[in-house]
Amino acid sequence: MGYGGDVVVGGPSDLRVLDELEVRKAAVGPSANNTYLLTCRAGGAQLLVDAAADADRLVALVREGSPDARLDLIVTTHRHLDHVGALESLVAVTGAPVAAGAPDAEAVSEATGVAITRPLHDGDTIVLGHVTLEVIGLRGHTPGSVALAYREPEHASGPGSLPGRVHLFTGDTLFPGGVGSTSNDPARFAQLYADVTTKLFDRYDDATWVYPGHGLDTTLGAERPHLDEWRERGW
C-alpha cells in the first residue's frame, strides 16, 4: 500500500519514498503530535521535525531510517511544549544539533535546557545530504513558527520540464480546515492568515502536499477553496 499519512499513537510509522528523500511519519504523546523523519536517500543524512514526546519511540523512528541512529539535525517548528517534550532526551541519545525559528529559540531553550544551535529565519535553507529544504517563517501561532519546504526534482514532460511537487512540513500553522490556533487574537490571526496565504498558497500549486503537526495530511488544492471562509470566520 502507498503512503496515506494516517498514523496513531502507539502504531507504526507511515513511509513515503520519493526519488531523493524518504519521509516517515509517526504520532507520539498525549496530544497525538506528528513527528517526521526525513532521510536523504543518497548518503543517509537524517532530519527530524519536532521531537514532541516519547523519546524511545523517536529513537526507534530514527533507527528505521538509519540502524546506527544517525541524526544530523532536529528542527523544532515552534516553542509550544507539546512539540519539545522529547527534545532533551533525543539530543542526549543522538547528539544531534537543534534548529528553531529565531524568535522562538530562547523559549525552546528555557523549556528544554537544550541550546539552539541554529536559529532559523524566513528564507534560510537547510542542506540535508543531497537535499535542500527551505525555511518559511509563518508568524501568528507563535512569533517564530517555521515550516519546511522540499521540492522534488523537475521531471520531463514533452518538450520541456515541469517543476516537481512541493512537500510542506507546517507544524501547527496549517491544517486540514484552517490555520493554526491564534487564541482568538484578531491581530495574530491576521498575521498568520497573511503569511500562510502569501508564502504558501500564492507561491505553491495545488499539488503541494501538507504534513501538519497533528492529524491527517492535506494538499493546498484541497484547502485553497476555503481561504475566504477562513478569513471571514477569523480562525
Q: Does residue 141 lie in a domain region?
A: yes
Q: Does residue 148 lie in a domain region?
A: yes
Residues ≥6 apart with Cβ < 8 Å to 169: 36, 49, 77, 147, 148, 149, 150, 211
The pTM score is 0.96
Structural domains counted in the chain:
1
Q: Does residue 22 lie in a domain region?
A: yes
The residue segments making up the domain with residue 193 are 14-233
Q: Does residue 108 lie in a domain region?
A: yes
Q: Does residue 94 lie in a domain region?
A: yes
Residue 132 belongs to domain with CATH number:
3.60.15.10
Q: Does residue 9 lie in a domain region?
A: no
Q: Encode the chain (235 residues) as per-residue pLDDT tens digits.
A: 689 999 999 999 999 999 999 999 999 999 999 999 999 999 999 999 999 999 999 999 999 999 999 999 999 999 999 999 999 999 999 999 999 999 999 999 999 999 999 999 999 999 999 999 999 999 999 999 999 999 999 865 556 667 899 999 999 999 999 999 999 999 999 999 999 999 999 999 999 999 999 999 999 999 999 999 999 999 9
Question: If we measure between CA atoms, which residue out of 127, 105, 133, 129 comes closest to residue 117?
Answer: 105
Q: Does residue 5 lie in a domain region?
A: no
